[in-house]
Amino acid sequence: MMKKIVAMILALLMMTLLYIPAFAAETEKEQMQSTVLYQANQIDDPNMLMLRAELGVDERSEIVKQATNVFAETDLSKEQADLYTTTQLIRRERKTDGTIVEEYASVAVARSTGTGSSSDQETENSVTVYAMVNYKYEISSDLNMSFGISNTKHRAIYASSVTVNSLYLKNEIDNSYEQVASNSRTISSVTMGTWYTLSAPTSKLYPKASANLYAFTTAKLPGGNEANVRCVVYCNSL
Protein backbone atom coordinates (compact mmCIF):
# COMPACT_ATOMS: atom_id res chain seq x y z
CA MET A 1 0.00 0.00 0.00
CA MET A 2 2.79 2.40 0.96
CA LYS A 3 4.47 1.79 -2.39
CA LYS A 4 1.22 2.65 -4.21
CA ILE A 5 0.85 5.88 -2.23
CA VAL A 6 4.43 6.90 -2.96
CA ALA A 7 3.93 6.08 -6.65
CA MET A 8 0.76 8.22 -6.76
CA ILE A 9 2.54 11.13 -5.08
CA LEU A 10 5.43 10.90 -7.54
CA ALA A 11 2.98 10.78 -10.45
CA LEU A 12 1.18 13.89 -9.19
CA LEU A 13 4.49 15.69 -8.77
CA MET A 14 5.50 14.79 -12.33
CA MET A 15 2.17 16.04 -13.70
CA THR A 16 2.60 19.30 -11.77
CA LEU A 17 6.11 19.80 -13.08
CA LEU A 18 4.93 19.17 -16.62
CA TYR A 19 1.89 21.40 -16.26
CA ILE A 20 3.64 24.54 -15.00
CA PRO A 21 5.89 25.06 -18.08
CA ALA A 22 2.96 24.37 -20.41
CA PHE A 23 0.85 26.99 -18.62
CA ALA A 24 3.70 29.49 -18.67
CA ALA A 25 4.24 28.89 -22.40
CA GLU A 26 0.55 29.40 -23.09
CA THR A 27 0.52 32.64 -21.10
CA GLU A 28 3.56 33.90 -23.02
CA LYS A 29 1.89 32.97 -26.29
CA GLU A 30 -1.24 34.90 -25.34
CA GLN A 31 0.86 37.94 -24.42
CA MET A 32 2.49 37.89 -27.83
CA GLN A 33 -0.82 37.89 -29.66
CA SER A 34 -2.23 41.10 -31.11
CA THR A 35 -5.50 42.16 -32.69
CA VAL A 36 -5.41 42.96 -36.41
CA LEU A 37 -7.66 45.97 -36.97
CA TYR A 38 -7.03 46.42 -40.71
CA GLN A 39 -5.21 44.52 -43.46
CA ALA A 40 -4.83 45.30 -47.18
CA ASN A 41 -2.85 44.00 -50.14
CA GLN A 42 -0.11 46.39 -51.13
CA ILE A 43 -0.76 48.25 -54.40
CA ASP A 44 2.18 48.06 -56.78
CA ASP A 45 0.47 48.44 -60.16
CA PRO A 46 2.02 51.61 -61.67
CA ASN A 47 -1.22 52.76 -63.30
CA MET A 48 -3.14 52.45 -60.03
CA LEU A 49 -0.34 54.14 -58.10
CA MET A 50 -0.24 57.00 -60.60
CA LEU A 51 -4.03 57.41 -60.41
CA ARG A 52 -3.92 57.47 -56.61
CA ALA A 53 -1.01 59.92 -56.72
CA GLU A 54 -2.83 62.25 -59.12
CA LEU A 55 -5.88 62.13 -56.85
CA GLY A 56 -3.73 62.77 -53.78
CA VAL A 57 -4.85 59.61 -51.94
CA ASP A 58 -3.33 59.63 -48.46
CA GLU A 59 -4.42 56.94 -45.98
CA ARG A 60 -2.28 58.02 -43.03
CA SER A 61 -4.15 58.22 -39.74
CA GLU A 62 -4.66 61.70 -38.33
CA ILE A 63 -1.99 61.28 -35.67
CA VAL A 64 0.54 60.13 -38.30
CA LYS A 65 -0.38 63.05 -40.57
CA GLN A 66 0.32 65.39 -37.67
CA ALA A 67 3.64 63.72 -36.94
CA THR A 68 4.97 63.30 -40.50
CA ASN A 69 5.30 65.10 -43.80
CA VAL A 70 5.50 63.00 -46.99
CA PHE A 71 6.84 64.59 -50.15
CA ALA A 72 8.79 63.95 -53.37
CA GLU A 73 12.04 65.52 -54.52
CA THR A 74 14.03 65.38 -57.78
CA ASP A 75 17.10 66.99 -59.29
CA LEU A 76 15.16 67.63 -62.49
CA SER A 77 13.61 71.05 -63.01
CA LYS A 78 9.90 71.75 -62.66
CA GLU A 79 9.78 72.07 -66.45
CA GLN A 80 11.20 68.56 -66.87
CA ALA A 81 9.17 66.48 -64.43
CA ASP A 82 5.96 66.48 -62.41
CA LEU A 83 6.10 65.13 -58.87
CA TYR A 84 3.43 63.13 -57.08
CA THR A 85 3.03 61.20 -53.82
CA THR A 86 0.49 58.79 -52.42
CA THR A 87 0.35 56.77 -49.21
CA GLN A 88 -1.43 53.48 -48.56
CA LEU A 89 -2.27 51.98 -45.17
CA ILE A 90 -1.22 48.33 -45.31
CA ARG A 91 -1.89 47.10 -41.79
CA ARG A 92 -3.04 48.28 -38.39
CA GLU A 93 -2.88 46.19 -35.23
CA ARG A 94 -3.21 46.62 -31.48
CA LYS A 95 -0.85 44.71 -29.20
CA THR A 96 -2.00 43.35 -25.87
CA ASP A 97 -0.09 46.13 -24.07
CA GLY A 98 -2.14 48.74 -25.96
CA THR A 99 0.56 49.68 -28.48
CA ILE A 100 -0.83 50.57 -31.91
CA VAL A 101 1.28 49.47 -34.89
CA GLU A 102 0.58 50.78 -38.40
CA GLU A 103 2.36 49.85 -41.62
CA TYR A 104 2.38 52.24 -44.58
CA ALA A 105 3.68 52.45 -48.15
CA SER A 106 4.48 55.98 -49.33
CA VAL A 107 5.37 56.38 -53.01
CA ALA A 108 7.00 59.28 -54.83
CA VAL A 109 6.78 59.54 -58.62
CA ALA A 110 8.68 61.79 -61.02
CA ARG A 111 6.89 61.70 -64.38
CA SER A 112 7.99 63.10 -67.72
CA THR A 113 6.53 66.41 -68.85
CA GLY A 114 8.07 66.10 -72.33
CA THR A 115 9.20 69.72 -72.34
CA GLY A 116 12.98 69.38 -72.29
CA SER A 117 14.83 72.21 -74.00
CA SER A 118 17.52 69.91 -75.40
CA SER A 119 17.79 66.34 -76.65
CA ASP A 120 19.40 65.28 -73.37
CA GLN A 121 16.56 66.73 -71.36
CA GLU A 122 14.01 65.12 -73.66
CA THR A 123 15.67 61.77 -72.95
CA GLU A 124 15.51 62.39 -69.22
CA ASN A 125 11.88 63.41 -69.47
CA SER A 126 10.93 60.15 -71.16
CA VAL A 127 11.65 58.17 -67.97
CA THR A 128 9.21 57.87 -65.06
CA VAL A 129 10.78 56.77 -61.78
CA TYR A 130 9.16 55.50 -58.61
CA ALA A 131 10.53 55.35 -55.05
CA MET A 132 8.48 53.58 -52.36
CA VAL A 133 9.15 53.57 -48.61
CA ASN A 134 7.51 50.73 -46.68
CA TYR A 135 7.63 51.74 -43.04
CA LYS A 136 6.24 50.93 -39.63
CA TYR A 137 4.91 53.30 -37.01
CA GLU A 138 4.26 52.50 -33.34
CA ILE A 139 2.63 54.52 -30.60
CA SER A 140 2.66 53.13 -27.09
CA SER A 141 0.13 53.68 -24.31
CA ASP A 142 2.31 56.52 -22.97
CA LEU A 143 2.14 58.21 -26.42
CA ASN A 144 5.77 57.56 -27.33
CA MET A 145 6.05 57.40 -31.14
CA SER A 146 8.66 55.55 -33.19
CA PHE A 147 9.29 54.85 -36.88
CA GLY A 148 11.40 52.48 -38.95
CA ILE A 149 11.86 51.30 -42.54
CA SER A 150 10.61 47.82 -43.44
CA ASN A 151 12.10 47.99 -46.96
CA THR A 152 12.06 50.21 -50.03
CA LYS A 153 11.01 49.52 -53.63
CA HIS A 154 12.25 51.15 -56.82
CA ARG A 155 11.08 51.18 -60.43
CA ALA A 156 11.63 52.91 -63.76
CA ILE A 157 9.29 53.00 -66.75
CA TYR A 158 10.49 54.28 -70.11
CA ALA A 159 9.90 54.07 -73.84
CA SER A 160 11.57 51.39 -75.97
CA SER A 161 13.62 54.12 -77.62
CA VAL A 162 15.25 54.99 -74.29
CA THR A 163 18.32 53.25 -72.88
CA VAL A 164 18.72 52.96 -69.11
CA ASN A 165 22.26 51.84 -68.31
CA SER A 166 21.63 51.11 -64.63
CA LEU A 167 19.34 51.82 -61.70
CA TYR A 168 20.78 53.09 -58.44
CA LEU A 169 18.76 52.29 -55.32
CA LYS A 170 19.28 53.73 -51.88
CA ASN A 171 17.41 54.08 -48.61
CA GLU A 172 18.35 56.04 -45.54
CA ILE A 173 17.35 57.06 -42.04
CA ASP A 174 18.64 60.29 -40.54
CA ASN A 175 17.90 62.46 -37.54
CA SER A 176 18.04 65.81 -39.42
CA TYR A 177 21.68 66.21 -38.39
CA GLU A 178 23.38 63.07 -39.60
CA GLN A 179 22.72 59.76 -41.31
CA VAL A 180 22.10 56.96 -38.82
CA ALA A 181 21.59 54.03 -41.24
CA SER A 182 21.57 53.43 -45.00
CA ASN A 183 21.61 50.73 -47.63
CA SER A 184 22.20 50.85 -51.39
CA ARG A 185 22.83 48.79 -54.50
CA THR A 186 23.07 49.21 -58.27
CA ILE A 187 21.05 47.21 -60.79
CA SER A 188 23.34 46.88 -63.81
CA SER A 189 20.89 45.07 -66.08
CA VAL A 190 17.56 46.87 -65.75
CA THR A 191 14.25 45.32 -66.77
CA MET A 192 11.75 48.03 -67.62
CA GLY A 193 8.82 48.16 -65.21
CA THR A 194 10.29 45.72 -62.67
CA TRP A 195 10.09 46.57 -58.98
CA TYR A 196 13.46 46.18 -57.27
CA THR A 197 13.42 45.76 -53.49
CA LEU A 198 16.10 47.08 -51.17
CA SER A 199 16.21 45.65 -47.68
CA ALA A 200 15.92 47.94 -44.67
CA PRO A 201 19.16 49.56 -43.47
CA THR A 202 18.26 48.43 -39.94
CA SER A 203 15.38 46.74 -38.13
CA LYS A 204 15.55 49.31 -35.34
CA LEU A 205 12.67 51.70 -34.65
CA TYR A 206 13.65 55.29 -33.88
CA PRO A 207 11.87 57.94 -31.81
CA LYS A 208 9.94 60.41 -33.95
CA ALA A 209 12.43 63.20 -33.32
CA SER A 210 15.24 61.02 -34.72
CA ALA A 211 13.60 59.34 -37.69
CA ASN A 212 13.43 60.74 -41.21
CA LEU A 213 12.97 58.02 -43.83
CA TYR A 214 14.08 58.10 -47.48
CA ALA A 215 13.97 56.04 -50.67
CA PHE A 216 16.09 57.15 -53.65
CA THR A 217 15.70 55.89 -57.23
CA THR A 218 18.10 57.07 -59.93
CA ALA A 219 17.99 55.89 -63.54
CA LYS A 220 21.42 56.29 -65.15
CA LEU A 221 21.13 57.26 -68.82
CA PRO A 222 23.62 57.59 -71.71
CA GLY A 223 25.82 60.67 -71.70
CA GLY A 224 25.84 60.93 -67.90
CA ASN A 225 22.20 62.03 -67.70
CA GLU A 226 19.92 60.90 -64.89
CA ALA A 227 16.23 60.70 -64.00
CA ASN A 228 15.70 60.52 -60.28
CA VAL A 229 13.16 60.80 -57.49
CA ARG A 230 13.31 60.72 -53.69
CA CYS A 231 10.44 59.74 -51.42
CA VAL A 232 10.79 61.51 -48.08
CA VAL A 233 8.89 60.65 -44.92
CA TYR A 234 9.91 63.51 -42.64
CA CYS A 235 9.12 62.68 -39.01
CA ASN A 236 10.19 65.91 -37.36
CA SER A 237 7.19 68.02 -38.36
CA LEU A 238 6.12 68.44 -34.71
pLDDT of residue 28: 52
The model's pLDDT over 141-175, given as tens digits with 9 standing for 90+, comes to 777 889 999 999 999 999 888 889 999 999 999 98
The average confidence (pLDDT) of the chain is: 83
The model's pLDDT over 6-56, given as tens digits with 9 standing for 90+, comes to 444 444 444 334 343 444 444 455 445 789 999 999 999 989 999 999 999
H or E element: which one contains 49? Answer: helix 46-55
Query: What is the value of pTM for the model shown?
Result: 0.81
Where are any strands of DSSP class E within 66-211? 69-73, 81-95, 100-112, 127-139, 145-158, 166-174, 179-187, 196-199, 206-207
In 10 A of CB 161, how many CB atoms?
A: 7
